[in-house]
Amino acid sequence: MIARITSILIFAMFVTGCVTTNEVTGRSQFITIPASQDEALGLQALNEVKDSNDHVQTSGAMVEKVRRIGQRIVKVSDNPSLNWEFIVIDEPVLNAWALPGGKVAVYSKMIENLTEAELAAVLGHECAHAILRHGAEQVSRSQVQQLAVVGLGAAAGLATEDEKTASLAVALGSLAAQGFVALPHSRDMELEADHVGTIYMAKAGYDPRNAVALWKKMSGLKEGGGSQPTFLSTHPSDGKRIERLESRMTEYLGYYKP
Ligand SMILES: [Zn+2]
């Protein structure tokens, strides 16, 4: 019985102890991973990508371009001091992603199809994901879902002590290692990254109307068939994103100094 109560208490402490207010957005976020671990976790995940994918580029013309635009964004962002790293994955995929600690990847098909300002919109969006800690937040949400299952099992007395310990370890460990790239961001996180990312691109000297141009172009590329446009994800729809961006364009243009 004491073990059961302890399990429930640990679960409750775990859940309630991790709500922080994001300094950039003012939104409450549930994150179980301390910010001090972002760098190590992001670097570990990045190294796993580099080790397992022969198409990763860390030098050359495409990387130089992405790095140059990325650094312009980072300089005016809310967290220039992260250990930023930009890589290119030379694959015919319309995608880009960001890892905790500021590790950003752009696929070559994006670079080939977008103008510099549209690429700045992509990089603004990805840098915003990293700064707003969306990867850690997504992994934390998944951990809670797993822990809830473990906790309920424990409360009902269904699991032995060994089973509980084992599944708790799995719940905490496995997602942190793989989740950052694999787990899709929620709809709200996507819209938040669009918003903050467009402010960054405008502050960096890129006309923010190119963020709208980017989503329109991505829609067109999607309709044209070809490879899966994973950057669009399934939510929110590009129509929704465009509508949101257009409704706040006056604000974004206020940050834009050509
Ligand atoms: Zn995104």
- Quick one: pLDDT at residue 16? 54
Question: Is the separation of the CB atoms in 25 and 132 below 8 Å?
Answer: yes
Of the two residues 166 and 96, the one the predictor is more confident about is: 96
CA 119 – ligand 1 centroid, Å? 13
CA 188 – ligand 1 centroid, Å? 10
- Quick one: pLDDT at residue 172? 47
CA 152 – ligand 1 centroid, Å? 33
For residue range 76-109, what is the model confidence (pLDDT) as tens digits?
A: 999 999 999 999 999 998 899 999 999 999 999 9
Ramachandran bin of 60, using left for φ above 0, alpha for ψ from -120 to 50, beta for the remaining angles: left
For residue range 194-251, what is the model confidence (pLDDT) as tens digits?
A: 999 999 999 999 999 999 999 999 888 766 655 555 666 555 777 889 999 999 999 9
CA 193 – ligand 1 centroid, Å? 6
Give me 146's structure tokens.
Answer: 């797993």
Instruction: Decide if 91 is catalytic.
Output: no
- Quick one: pLDDT at residue 153? 55
For residue range 32-47, what is the model confidence (pLDDT) as tens digits?
A: 888 999 999 899 999 9
Give me 64's structure tokens.
Answer: 């130089």
CA 236 – ligand 1 centroid, Å? 10
pLDDT beyond 50 at 174: no
Residue percentage of the chain with pLDDT more than 70:
72
Contacts of 180 (CB under 8 A, 6+ apart): 41, 42, 45, 99, 100, 135, 138, 139
Of the two residues 241 and 172, the one the predictor is more confident about is: 241
Candidate list 48, 116, 126, 243, residue with the active-site label? 126
